[in-house]
Amino acid sequence: MPSLAAKIFHPTARNLRMLASRLRAGELVAVPTETVYGLAANALSSAACARIFRAKGRPVSDPLIVHVERLAQIEELAVVTPAVRKLADAFWPGPLTLVLPKRAIVPDIVTAGGSSVAIRMPSHPVFRRLLRLTGLPLAAPSANPFGYVSPTSAEHVRDNLGSRIRFILEGGPAYIGVESTIVDLREPRRPVLLRPGSISAAEIGRVLGCPVRVRSSTKRATKGPQIAPGLLARHYSPATPVILHDSAADMSVSRNDEAYVFVRKPAGKRSLNCHWFDRRGNLAGVARTLFATLRRLDRAGYRRLHIEKAPGVDGLAAAINDRLRRAAAR
């Protein structure tokens, strides 16, 4: 076996052409997206997609998201209804994934044998150039080992998967920082939110002209392919135990071998084990730094991480708190 020491490639025209040809040859390339870095393979090749599951240590019961550059590509993969077009007009390219009835061309390994496929059109300019050059739909889950915190930089990918893949495309820090919103749109008039992201259920409902039901994230499917990530309570988890708090007022900084992480920079005197996600508590900033902060503190040797939840119940707060709850689940 050749050694697979991953190398980070800057997005020059030459590197992009080389990586596109590696993808067409069935190899894996870690790619930047606006949400988190993904581990991409040709979505039309079962053998290429099987490599994703091996590299991540991901169970094959967990289906993949397929990324495309243009709407016309989706028609080949899935059934496109007027509701899909409305959402595409409003939110694509961007951090929204739609679960749609699939066509036969999509290999079973992508959908975990199910009859639906999850599709999104990403907005990251570097990833879009690569998609255009390959001319293929690319299946890509987040580029982390199964169950660990998602990567928001090329270095995060190398830290985790450096010995299992060869190619990482540099695209700078992911500028949204939490994974895409997933909506089940198999029945266009009965949309269901499967995973909260930066695009809220309310915004989607406004565009569709009907309410979006929020699937409870604790239920677990008993059979068939896994319906969305919420089914695994423990996901996105650091190795250090995480304890969540509803507000900063509930967090007394009492031990110096534990970390205290606040949404915003606390006023007054602070000890070295006090941290914060965003200086002003801006939720877009919290989302952007969330996973990098969890990774950094996971390596700092603390016994436990006390973390303040984001204020609010919908939009970005829902997405952030969903990830925090999973990080805290044991």
Please say which residue, 191 or 302, places its beta carbon nearer to ligand TXA: 191
Is 52 a binder of ligand TXA (CB under 6 A)?
no
Q: Which stretch binds ligand TXA (CB under 6 A): 77-85, 92-100, 250-258, 317-325?
A: 92-100
Distance CA 186, CA 321 (A): 27
Q: Which stretch binds ligand TXA (CB under 6 A): 12-20, 68-76, 226-234, 264-272?
A: 226-234
Distance CA 215, CA 72 (A): 29
DSSP string, 42-69: ETT-HHHHHHHHHHHT--TTSPPEEE-S
Window 93-132: residues binding ligand TXA (CB under 6 A): 95, 97, 99, 111, 114, 116-118
Please say which residue, 306 or 323, places its beta carbon nearer to ligand TXA: 323
33 contact choice in Mg ion, ligand TXA, none (CB below 5 to 8 Å, kind-dependent)? ligand TXA
Is 141 a binder of ligand TXA (CB under 6 A)?
yes
CA-to-CA dists, residue 33 to 36, 37, 122, 124, 125, angstroms: 6, 5, 7, 5, 8
Please say which residue, 41 or 194, places its beta carbon nearer to ligand TXA: 194
Q: Which stretch binds ligand TXA (CB under 6 A): 10-18, 70-78, 138-146, 284-292?
A: 138-146
> For residue 252, how many other CB atoms are within 10 A of its CB?
10
Is 27 a binder of ligand TXA (CB under 6 A)?
no
From the list 137, 151, 171, 229, which residue makes contact with ligand TXA (rule: CB under 6 A)?
229
Is 62 a binder of ligand TXA (CB under 6 A)?
yes
From the list 43, 130, 194, 316, which residue makes contact with ligand TXA (rule: CB under 6 A)?
194
Q: 3-class SS at 139?
A: strand
73 contact choice in Mg ion, ligand TXA, none (CB below 5 to 8 Å, kind-dependent)? none
Residue 77, amino acid: L
For the chain, what's the residue count?
Answer: 330
Is 151 a binder of ligand TXA (CB under 6 A)?
no
Are 234 and 326 in contact by the 8 Å Cβ rule? The answer is yes
Residues 6 or more apart whose CB falls under 8 angstroms from that of 183 comprise 87, 96, 97, 98, 99, 191, 192, 193, 194, 204, 212
Q: 3-class SS at 130?
A: helix
Distance CA 153, CA 218 (A): 29
Burial 100-130 (b: 16+ CB within 10 A, else e): bebeeebbebbbbebebbbbbbbbbebbbbb
Least spacing, CB of residue 316 vs ligand TXA, in Å:
14
Q: By rule CB under 6 A, what count of residues binds ligand TXA?
A: 27
Please say which residue, 191 or 197, places its beta carbon nearer to Mg ion: 197
Distance CA 123, CA 19 (A): 19
Residues that bind Mg ion (CB under 5 A): 142
Residues at the site binding ligand TXA, with contacts judged by CB under 6 A: 33, 35-36, 38, 62-65, 95, 97, 99, 111, 114, 116-118, 140-142, 179-180, 182, 194, 226-229
